[in-house]
Amino acid sequence: MKISDLETPTLLLDRSRLSANLTNMSERATGLGVALRPHMKTTKSADIARLATAGQNGGITVSTLKEAAYFVANGFTDITYAVGVSVGKLDRVAALRQDGARVTVLTDNAEVARGIAAHAEATGARFDVLIEIDTGDHRAGVAPDSLALMEIAEILDHAAGVELRGVLTHAGHSYDCRTVAEIQTVAEAEQAGAVLAAERLRAAGMACPVVSVGSTPTVVYARDLNGVTEVRAGVYMFNDVFQASIAACALTDIAVSVLATVTGHHPERGEILIDAGGLALSKDRSTAVGPHDVGYGLAVGLDGAELPELHVVRVSQEHGVVATAPGAGALPFAALPPGSRLRVLPNHVCMTAAAYDCYHVVEGEEVVATWPRVNGW
């Protein structure tokens, strides 16, 4: 099958770019002396997880229990569920353990920790738990030097049926950086905070075998991960225009695009319409705050044709409006007749890919495979 045989909008995955991204990150982790526990929240694909864990210890990270169950069904047995758990989800975690998988959960809350302990005691289930550390992102986590860290740790450490495995942090504020130097500063704070938290647990006599950090930008630019045992990153597998805008990748490293068809011309406004809108691209506007705002995506030619820079400047549910970037000149209507096709590189690929149930894996013009992905909760 060729790309030209595909209906639009649909999701393309460039296999050679994916492979290069995976190899680079795996080598990067090895060079830093840490394990790579790839975060599958971006790709949600067992086919990709198998490639991403090649040469690593096979552990992965997930963002939902539906992902966890899917990966367990696909043979993965060492999974970190890296979003704060609620007690109401523990039965599902316990069921996955009965299926033979170790699904490690996360919390930053003493009441949840007590709930995990109580659940283990009441049901006989066993839980592996990490404590989430806030190293500057201020989304979730306790401060590395906080009393709360020790309170949660003691609850978990004293609970029968619970294994406190260590600490985990996510420097999501690396996404706010605009220079490599800024990302390196965040990476240092991420490493230092996680290691400090681990040292406090160990000083109190608790084991802390896992010191887990990660975001794609900080792993790409970290200079020293001394004391860290593993890195989690996910978006590096595909990359996107936002990651390129903060220099975490090059535009040519972006492996995923939305294939779209031109449906109309509006020369009076310098616009063409495509059949990829807010649902096909997502409403994510990550690039809005950066130096290179591409609207809802960066549109490129299907076959490498030289086009001026094209942005998806507006979307509604099933319509995308494409215009040239400011200063990029006139829109080449003749090169993009109705029925012709474009690829749109996503702002934020984790959001965009979630609208699709599969990837069309391509090499040049050939569709060489179709890989399913798991969505929902």
Residues that bind its own copies (CB under 8 A): 7-10, 41, 63-64, 83-89, 92, 107-109, 111-112, 115, 138-140, 172, 261-266, 269, 273, 275, 278-280, 282-285, 314, 316-319, 321, 337-339, 348, 350-351, 354-357, 375-377
Q: How far is the CB of 83 from its own copies (least distance, A)?
A: 5
Residue with tokens 């040049």: 364
CA 276 to chain centre: 22
Amino acid identity at 102: R
Q: What is the largest CA-CA distance in the chain?
A: 72
**Closer residue to its own copies, CB minimum distance, 108 or 157:** 108
**Closer residue to its own copies, CB minimum distance, 327 or 376:** 376
Residue with tokens 């839980």: 127
Q: How far is the CB of 319 from its own copies (least distance, A)?
A: 6
For 327, counting Cβ atoms within 10 Å of its Cβ (0-12 exposed, 13-18 middle, 19+ buried), the class is exposed
Residue 141 CA: distances (Å) to CA of 144, 167, 193, 372: 9, 10, 11, 33
Q: How far is the CB of 63 from its own copies (least distance, A)?
A: 5
**Closer residue to its own copies, CB minimum distance, 59 or 278:** 278
Dist. CA 375–CA 377, nearest whole Å: 7
- Contact between residue 71 and residue 40 where contact means Cβ atoms under 8 Å apart: yes
**Closer residue to its own copies, CB minimum distance, 66 or 227:** 66
Eight-class DSSP state of 325: P
Q: How far is the CB of 300 from its own copies (least distance, A)?
A: 19
Instruction: Establish how many alpha carbons lie within 13 A of residue 53's alpha carbon, considering only the half-sphere containing its beta carbon.
Output: 21
**Closer residue to its own copies, CB minimum distance, 229 or 284:** 284
**Closer residue to its own copies, CB minimum distance, 224 or 357:** 357
**Closer residue to its own copies, CB minimum distance, 101 or 272:** 272
Dist. CA 240–CA 252, nearest whole Å: 10
Tokens of 96: 């996955």
Dist. CA 58–CA 49, nearest whole Å: 9
